[in-house]
Amino acid sequence: MNILILGSGGRESAFAWKIAQSPKCQNLFIAPGNAGTTQYGTNVNLKVTDFEGIKTFVLGNGINLVLVGPEEPLVKGVHDFFLNDEQLKNIPVVGPQQEAAQLEGSKDFSKQFMEKHNIPTAAYKTFTKDTLQEGLTYLTTGGLPVVLKADGLAAGKGVLICTTLEEAQQELTEMLAEAKFGEASSRVVIEQFLTGIELSVFVMTDGNSYKILPEAKDYKRIGEGDTGLNTGGMGSVSPVPFADAIYMKKVEEKVIIPTIEGLKKDGIPYKGFIFIGLMNSEGEPWVIEYNCRMGDPETESVMRRIDSDFVDLLQGVAEVNLDQKELVISPKTAATVVMVAGGYPGEYLKNKVITGTENIHESIVFHAGTSTDGDNVISTGGRVLAITTLQDNMFNALQQATADASRIYYDGMYFRRDIGFDLL
Ligand SMILES: Nc1ncnc2c1ncn2[C@@H]1O[C@H](COP(=O)(O)OP(=O)(O)O)[C@@H](O)[C@H]1O
Ligand SMILES: [Mg+2]
């Protein structure tokens, strides 16, 4: 098979690494990819939202399957674009259609879906500019802190946790009346604050049956001890000790099955990944959000724990026979440490030469924001590399990934040395 991956981050690097190992994969392409993905396939200079360009490439290169990494092309309807095109309609896309992608693309849609199908989630209400006054009153009736969420995609910045009523009212006004997050905050979900520990659960589905991939914990804050600004993700670990068999059974029964069955009942087809962001509150799972794709940097750890042929699983999604496929998961621990650019998540340094990756033997160096200047690999993004290792136990995995990250150098480089150590 010839496979095209859309995307350019650490997640897509991990997909490419895994797919390249499959005997079923003949030619692998990554659009646009990064300096590291050329180890596994051929980069294609295309934007993930350039649907016409993707069409030309797919038809010209005999692509048999398209795997979509990020949410943007899904929310913009890349899968529908294929289905509505005479020449593309029989080429499978792994990643949901636009309607289902609203589970991520609209917080209000996903809350309504959860409420309708009795999936445990925080109590909420949605407001618009026209109902701002009701929203301001609603805030006085709930407890604190309170969570305000811009309805649409806001690059991970649209969620505000407010600790005082004044702050919440001011933020709500700015979001609705002053379009603080543009069109994304034309609707705002106000929801109850949940306490507990977060967990990322990943489900692969063909719309009929599902497979639960390894769960992971990710680390979002820039600073050690989970302090400072939010980032795209600074590291991940899988498995997660509290997500034992009993807990995961609860997640399956209370969240995963009602989600898959709810999609079916609502007549919403779904082929791809569902990333369920959970809050574990005293042993009970509560859904914080759905994403319509895999997480980054969770995918790096998750892929390392999948022992089966990933292309076979992707084919199961495409051909709606996932229930006949085998998913073998390694009992070992995977840990990922993300190396970022100096200044990130603010204004950050770019075009810094990266050295030392040749010294890494026990981990895989997944590239994220990298490119080449002809002679050298250089940093181009905020998240530059993801160092992922697989070891017999958690302590060794955490130590190895951290030690290997410190063998790499570029001007201004930074990574957290505490990823996963809270779980020991
Ligand atoms: N109801 C909630 N209670 C507590 N924390 C929350 C709640 N909703 C969101 N959060 C926090 O905010 C983060 C971002 O919210 P999320 O819904 O995942 O939005 P997004 O990832 O789209 O920015 C979550 O990872 C979590 O830490
Ligand atoms: Mg989130």
CATH 3.30.1490.20 residue spans of the chain: 123-192
Considering the chain, what percentage of its residues have pLDDT values greater than 90?
Answer: 99
The CATH superfamily assigned to 123-192 is ATP-grasp fold, A domain (3.30.1490.20)
Residue ranges around ligand 1 (CB below 6 Å): 122, 147, 149, 156, 158-159, 191, 193-194, 198, 277, 288-289
Handedness of CA 16, 20, 22, 23 (dihedral sign): positive
Residue 84, burial from CB neighbour count under 10 angstroms (0-12, 13-18, 19+) = exposed
Asked if residues 313 and 305 have their Cβ atoms less than 8 Å apart, the reply is: no
For 197-423, the fitting CATH number among 3.30.470.20, 3.40.50.170, 3.40.50.970, 3.100.10.10 is 3.30.470.20
Question: pTM for the full model?
Answer: 0.98
**Rounded distance from Cα 422 to ligand 1 centre (Å):** 20
Nearest CA to ligand 1 atom 12: 159
| CATH top class, domain 2-87 | alpha beta
pLDDT exceeds cutoff 90 at 247: yes
| Structure confidence by residue, pLDDT tens digits, 138-159 | 999 989 999 999 999 988 889 9
- Where along the chain do the CATH 3.30.470.20 domains lie? 197-423
* CATH 3.40.50.20 domain span(s) along the chain: 2-87
- Taking a 5 Å cut-off on Cβ, the residues next to ion ligand 2 are 277
Question: C-alpha dihedral over 52, 57, 60, 65, to 10 degrees?
Answer: -110
Region class of 83: left (phi > 0), else alpha (psi between -120 and 50), else beta: alpha
The pLDDT of residue 156: 81
Give per-residue pLDDT as tens, 90-107. Answer: 999 999 999 999 999 999
Q: Which ligand is nearest to the CA of 155?
A: 1
Tell the burial category of 55 from Cβ atoms under 10 Å away from its Cβ (0-12, 13-18, 19+): middle
Burial class (CB in 10 A: 0-12, 13-18, 19+), 43: middle
C-beta of residue 162 within 8 angstroms of C-beta of residue 192: no
Which residue has 């991956």 as its token pair?
A: 5
pLDDT the model gives residue 80: 98
Ramachandran region, residue 181 (left: φ > 0; alpha: ψ -120 to 50; beta: rest): alpha
